[in-house]
Amino acid sequence: MALLKSSCFQLLLLALVQLVSVSGQAPLSTVLPSNGVQLYLPFLFGSVPDYSMIYASQFYDVDQNNDDNNIVDALWCQSANNGTDIGVWYYPNGTEVPLFDGNFGNTSAPRPLFSRRFSGQIALARREGLLGYEGLYKCIIPDENGVNQTLVVGAYTDTGYNNNDGPDADPTMQISLLSTSRLATPPVFSLSFNVSDGPPTTVSCSVNGTEISTELSRKIVNGPESVTRVTVANFSEAGNYQCTVSNTRVTNGTISGFGPNAVISTSSLNISVSDTPTGLNATRLSTGLAHVRLYWSTVSGATGYEVYYQLSSNTPVSVSNTSYTTINITSGLFRGVTYTFYVVSYGSAFLPSGNASVTLTIIYEIRYRESTSTGPYNITNTTNTYYVIVELIPNTSYTIGVRAYTSIGPGEWTNREYTTIEIPVIQTFSITKLNSTAVRAEWSFVSGASHYTVYYESTSSSSRKKRQVETGMRVFPGDTTEGLIGGLDPNLNYLFSISTSFNSNGIIYEGERTQPIPPNVTVTPTILSRTSSICTQTLTDISSIHPAVTSIVTVTTTVAITILVNNNEGNNGDNTGLIVGVTVVYIPIILLALALIILVCVLCKNKAQK
């Protein structure tokens, strides 16, 4: 009996051992990534690359290889995030692989595959064959920062895997530009090809043997499909561009005693990118002001060239595609605008080279002199389409010319005749008597005046002695509007007038004086008519200005404003210009008083007669 009990106990213990061996456990935390995410295959004792290819006999729902730690040989999606409820597996058709909370090896688990979560990882376990379920399985799991990451693996039957020796791209593999412009930075191109025996497939590119940065919107291919939107960070270097289609096949065996053997299978296409055009130049055509010819040197291997122009702040505009190294641009350009022209070359794959550029910069040259002069012109330059000429002589005729300069030479002169206006007469002027020997003069401001001159002269003697005549003048700075005049003879009556002077290149030009007025009379003129004579000319006839870069040029020469006024009405606060005349008369006042006296006497006499 004791022997029977012992035998039963041994059988039970063996069954438990076998049960543990069959069910197994999750990989130890020591194999979880310290950062990021990874795919882990315990059956081959190591991680496998993203977008790699495995077969059914490499993952199960039990500890198939009976390793020491009884690790279940499923395909594990692992993260540095140690959360207990993370990760989702998806079938190739995009539906979610069902979750199962029971033990591994449980006959009630979903078929043919199920998933189970553990701390920091989720298993993809296979209970049955993959026939009908082959393709790309996707795991989405958060990393240590809580950001979801996607891992992809191609899982196939053993037969399907063995019949697949890697991607085979046929000779029709082509590359073409997707960017809207060959000047795009970076340009975007598409790689089109027929591929077989290759899912999952990846693409990498190099130039002259050096890998270049690419971003790939991946499209898994099997058969006549294409991988699109391969973005290359820098496509300006000429040379041999090689794009490689590949996949990683996981095989049995180890590398350096640990990890699955990942074999890269490749198929590639070489493309040559032509050199950047050199010797780009621009010249003016005689057929129009905005007509330009561009020409450059031939680029070896190029099948065509694309020409662009760009304003300073706008997007480049394609002008033309041509197989020649010369192009005439006779439309679409405007005068008075600075353009930058670009030329890129391309080969049979239509991929662009770096660009060559030339900029047409406009400088306007202005010349002027008195119309009667035969001496040299005064010459100045500006990049604006306007210019103010100062210190001109008043009431003088000038010849003013404008032409445009660019890097392709000067245009023709456009000449106009202008006459400057006369120096303005003071708008308002008054004299206030301070005492018997001093007065204060006040006047309106004239912009640009160098100084004002107040003149005075005596009219008669207040003592009725023999008439004495005294004249004088006082000069006041151009930025003042009043001044004191002292030292006058108390026995004389004075009349005062004022003039405005301008300094042009060291020469003083004086305007007309106002009509003389006595002290304590404020003259506030009223405008009878107003004429403005600002010498402003818009050069709308620009047929002789430089082509392609010429616009309306405005030359403004302002000396003064002339206004005709008199003193018949009171001040309205808006008078500017020339005082035509001021007359202060006492006799009419006396006559008016006498007329009133006579009228009163006549009325009184008539009343007495009644």
pLDDT tens digits, 335-353: 667 788 888 888 766 566 7
Distances in Å between the alpha carbon of 346 and those of 139, 273, 405, 468? Answer: 42, 7, 33, 99
> What is the rounded average pLDDT of the residues 211-222?
51
> Residue 567 in contact with residue 579, Cβ under 8 Å?
yes
What is this structure's pTM?
Answer: 0.41
> Residue 70 in contact with residue 60, Cβ under 8 Å?
no
> Residue 342 in contact with residue 356, Cβ under 8 Å?
yes
In CATH, what is the architecture of 363-419?
Sandwich (2.60)
Domain 168-273 is in which class? Answer: mainly beta
> Residue 405 in contact with residue 365, Cβ under 8 Å?
yes
> What is the rounded average pLDDT of the residues 492-511?
88
Strands 214-217, 281-284: pairing is unpaired
| DSSP secondary structure letter of residue 479 | T
Q: What is the phi/psi pair of residue 376, to 5°?
A: -70, 155
| Euclidean distance between CA atoms 418 and 369, whole angstroms | 10
pLDDT of the residue at 117 = 96
Instruction: Using the CB atoms, write b or e for 367-401: b if 16+ within 10 Å.
Output: bbbeeeeeeeebeeebeebebebeebbbbbebbbb
Residue 556 has pLDDT above 90, yes or no: no
Residue 303 has pLDDT above 50, yes or no: yes
> What is the rounded average pLDDT of the residues 428-435?
92
The owner of tokens 């003071």 is 426
Q: What is the pLDDT of residues 135-177, one digit of tens each?
A: 889 999 999 999 999 998 889 898 888 876 666 655 555 666 5
What is the residue type of 430? S
pLDDT of the residue at 540 = 30
> What is the rounded average pLDDT of the residues 43-54?
86
pLDDT of the residue at 552 = 30
Torsion of CA 30, 32, 36, 40, to 10 degrees: 140
Greatest mean pLDDT range, 18-22, 539-543, 577-581 = 18-22
Residue 558 has pLDDT above 80, yes or no: no
> Residue 358 in contact with residue 280, Cβ under 8 Å?
yes
pLDDT of the residue at 213 = 59
Residue 531 has pLDDT above 50, yes or no: no
> What is the rounded average pLDDT of the residues 316-320?
83
Tell me the CB-side half-sphere exposure of residue 425, using CA atoms within 13 A: 19
> What is the rounded average pLDDT of the residues 309-321?
80
pLDDT of the residue at 438 = 92
Q: For residue 539, count other CB atoms closer than 10 A to its CB.
A: 20
Q: Is 281-360 assigned to CATH 2.60.40.10?
A: yes
| Euclidean distance between CA atoms 261 and 263, whole angstroms | 6
> What is the rounded average pLDDT of the residues 404-410?
68
Confidence of residue 553 (pLDDT cuts 50, 70, 90): very low
96 contact partners, CB below 8 Å, separation of at least 6: 88, 89, 90
Confidence of residue 266 (pLDDT cuts 50, 70, 90): low
Residue 294 has pLDDT above 80, yes or no: yes
> What is the rounded average pLDDT of the residues 321-327?
90
Q: What is the mean pLDDT of the chain?
A: 73
Strands 386-388, 553-557: pairing is parallel
> Residue 449 in contact with residue 428, Cβ under 8 Å?
no
Nearest to 205 by CA among 249, 250, 175: 175
| Euclidean distance between CA atoms 81 and 101, whole angstroms | 20
Comparing 531 with 315, which gets the higher pLDDT? 315
> What is the rounded average pLDDT of the residues 391-406?
83
DSSP string, 379-426: EEEESSSEEE--SPPTT-EEEEEEEEEETTEE---EEEEEEPPPPPPP
Q: For residue 263, count other CB atoms closer than 10 A to its CB.
A: 14
Q: Is 429-579 assigned to CATH 2.60.40.10?
A: yes
Identify the H or E element spanning 366.
strand 363-370
Q: What is the pLDDT of residues 239-248, one digit of tens each?
A: 566 666 666 7
Comparing 536 with 323, which gets the higher pLDDT? 323
Rg (CA), the chain: 50
Residue 548 has pLDDT above 60, yes or no: no
pLDDT exceeding 70 applies to what percent of the chain?
60
Residue 358 has pLDDT above 60, yes or no: yes
Nearest to 167 by CA among 195, 135, 136: 195
CA 258 from chain centre, in angstroms, equals 55
Residues constituting the chain? 610
> What is the rounded average pLDDT of the residues 89-108?
92
> Residue 341 in contact with residue 295, Cβ under 8 Å?
no
pLDDT of the residue at 477 = 94
| Euclidean distance between CA atoms 482 and 396, whole angstroms | 30
> What is the rounded average pLDDT of the residues 9-14?
44
pLDDT of the residue at 357 = 77
Distances in Å between the alpha carbon of 171 and those of 6, 470, 559? Answer: 73, 113, 79
Q: Is the dihedral of CA 599, 601, 604, 610 positive or negative?
A: negative
In CATH, what is the architecture of 20-162?
Sandwich (2.60)
491 contact partners, CB below 8 Å, separation of at least 6: 461, 462, 463, 468
- What residue segments make up the domains of the chain, in order of their start? 20-162, 168-273, 281-360, 363-419, 429-579
pLDDT of the residue at 302 = 85
pLDDT of the residue at 321 = 87
Residue 509 has pLDDT above 80, yes or no: yes
Lowest mean pLDDT among 237-246, 257-266, 554-563: 554-563
> Residue 501 in contact with residue 448, Cβ under 8 Å?
no
Residue 583 has pLDDT above 50, yes or no: no
Confidence of residue 24 (pLDDT cuts 50, 70, 90): confident
Q: What is the pLDDT of residues 187-196, one digit of tens each?
A: 666 655 555 5
Prior bond to 519 cis, omega within 30?
no
> Residue 120 in contact with residue 151, Cβ under 8 Å?
no
Nearest to 292 by CA among 364, 365, 341: 341
Q: Do domains 168-273 and 363-419 have the same CATH topology?
A: yes
pLDDT of the residue at 143 = 96
